[in-house]
Amino acid sequence: MKTARSSASRASSEDAALAMAREVLEIEAKAVSDLIDRLDRSFVQAVETVLNCRGRVVVSGIGKSGHIARKIASTLASTGTPAFFVHSAEASHGDLGMIARDDVFIALSNSGESDELLAIVPLLKRQGAKLIAMTGNPQSALAREADVHLYAGAEKEACPLNLAPTASTTAALALGDALALALMQAKGFTQDEFAAAHPGGALGRRLLTHVRDVMRTGENAPRVAQTATALEAMREVSRGRMGMTTVLDAHGRVTGIFTDGDLRRSLEKGVDLRRTAIADVMSRGPRTIGPGKLAAEAVEIMERFKINQLIVVDDDQKLLGALNMHDLFRAKVI
């Protein structure tokens, strides 16, 4: 009996947790979707203000808004808009010296009545910096003092007590992302520029590693002449340890590829490897890639065509090297 009651209690607790999670996600999703219809000329003005900024973008807030402000500053900086975070409480104790006349100051406060932010607004105005306020109250003091106000309010918080900043911070974060990416598009920020800002970690490897960096060259790239026999090609496949060999014409151009799969099919057909020319059993028109392409593009080609090797050629289809999935794994591109 006790076990049955315990099981029922546990099931009830699990149902309650799932119900709460679903309600939170629904409330926060609505807070974000409501922003779509609220977007107006003010958002365009915010974009134009930052685009015309001759200095840097400074993002500030306190409490939960401070955490969101820090993330927005990071997103701006990584997508082509130089930006940094300043804690609003520290700004009035010396950090305001980081802000110059040509800067744009983005202030986040759900209430729009944060004492720490309001205390530094007159100083910002005196310096001549532009102020963009992101609040949940268009009638707040901060909204009134701003050069541009972005409304990021939520109908209600996801907190059951309607107290903990949840839906409001989610809305502010989403609006900050929208601003950063609208600026990214307006500036024509490129993939190469993005890579330069993300040199570390898996993202950096995917964006900065090129085929030339991981391909095998010279004797490490298996090859035979198209006049070779299938047996000679098989030996080159074994020597190269790539599961294939390229087949080249007299000018070093790639005319085909001979893989482990081609070898198995030849043996199944009873082909005499000693007497058969490689040109008769190789696969023609193999997939190739240039050395200047991103290694991530090589991964995409391999996955799309379900192949394990890729031949690297120049503009004249002359062999430069080769790579396989293991090379990409070692380079941590995938």
- Report pLDDT for 64: 92
Q: Give CA angle at 49 (48, 53), nearest 5°.
A: 115
pLDDT along the chain (334 residues), means of 10: 62 84 94 94 96 91 93 91 84 60 92 90 85 95 96 90 88 96 87 58 64 94 96 95 95 95 93 94 95 90 93 96 90 76
Domain locations along the chain: 2-189, 211-330
Q: What is the CATH number of domain 2-189?
A: 3.40.50.10490
Architecture per CATH, domain 211-330, reads as Roll (3.10)
